[in-house]
Amino acid sequence: MTDRYAVIGHPVAHSKSPLIHAAFAAQTQQVLSYTRLEAPLDGFIDSAAEFFVMGGNGLNVTVPFKEQAYAFANVLTERAELAGAVNTLWLDDEGVVGDNTDGAGLVRDLQRHLSLAGLRILLLGAGGAARGVIGPLLDEEPGQLLIANRSAAKAVALAEQFDEPDLLQGCGLNELPAQSFDLIINATSASLAGDSLPLPATVWQADGLVYDMMYGKQETAFLRQAAAAGVQCRLDGLGMLVEQAAEAFFLWRGVRPDTAPVLAELRAGL
């Protein structure tokens, strides 16, 4: 019987995961099926449980169910524990395992362009998207990681959860220090609404890198804001999407696909 995988979310019709995993499977000669599974907003647990009872092998989890997937898993990886959310589920002898591949996906995409060691990094936002990438960013030994959020208290509380006071701090957007950053990552949803962020001019570095976890056919509002500030290297989150999927594929199948041609195909199709 063909191994079965799916992406579960609400809504999920827009998800590119089936295209990505079909490309990975063809590239690596893996025989599997991968579909979309839309669960009711109040029905994630039932939908995920039924998928596995009916012989499913693994699920990718997208919004708004990553926290529910964390509670659903019988076993959590260290990455999932740190993130407080799960985006990848699969079965093993102990039951349903939950992992979070978002941070690994971000780091792999960034490493196409620069080494993170020693960098001054500004992470914008203190929600689930930000929390999911802090651990993998810290693993790369940056020189500084500052979380900035509209609510300073939320940023400070998130930083304190990782117990790295010499390296990781939190502050409000209106409390940013008068310094530039080598790497600025937008983990807020501002670009979805086409909004810019209230950032002082001092944060931008012309030869630095700016990254928005959102993506689209055109540059996001945040990347346009960075361009106006003179930043030359600007990346959106499509690469992160492909890389986090590759990490999940590796966990499921034990083989790591080549992401470059898949990313190029997706980019051309936007």
Residues 227 and 250 grouped into a single domain: no
Angle at 167 between CA 166 and CA 173, to 5 degrees: 110
Give the residue ranges of the annotated binding site for NADP(+).
78, 125-129, 213, 237
Per-residue pLDDT tens, the chain, 270 aa: give them: 899 999 999 999 999 999 999 999 999 999 999 999 999 999 999 999 999 999 999 999 999 999 999 999 999 999 999 999 999 999 999 999 999 999 999 999 999 999 999 999 999 999 999 999 999 999 999 999 999 999 999 999 999 999 898 999 999 999 999 999 999 999 998 988 888 899 999 999 999 999 999 999 999 999 999 999 999 999 999 999 999 999 999 999 999 999 999 999 999 998
Give the residue ranges of the annotated binding site.
15-17, 62, 78, 87, 102, 125-129, 213, 215, 237, 244
The Cα 94–Cα 25 span in angstroms is 26
β-pair partners for 145: 121, 168
Q: Prior bond to 18 cis, omega within 30?
A: no
* Residue 154 annotated among the catalytic residues of the structure: no
Which CATH number goes with the domain that contains 68?
3.40.50.10860
Residue 48 and residue 10 in contact, taking contact as beta carbons nearer than 8 Å: no
Number of folded domains in the chain? 2
The Cα 71–Cα 246 span in angstroms is 24
Residues 211 and 152 grouped into a single domain: yes
Residue listed under structure tokens 């590239």 = 27
Residues 146 and 259 grouped into a single domain: no
Range of the domain at 32: 3-100+239-269
Residue 187 and residue 129 in contact, taking contact as beta carbons nearer than 8 Å: yes
Residues 184 and 256 grouped into a single domain: no
Residue 118 and residue 253 in contact, taking contact as beta carbons nearer than 8 Å: no
* pTM exceeds 0.75 for this model: yes
Residues 92 and 36 grouped into a single domain: yes
Tell me the two tokens of residue 245: 């999927």
Residue 245 and residue 257 in contact, taking contact as beta carbons nearer than 8 Å: no
Task: Tell me which of 66, 79, 120, 253 is the catalytic residue.
Answer: 66
Give the residue ranges of the annotated binding site for shikimate.
15-17, 62, 87, 102, 215, 244
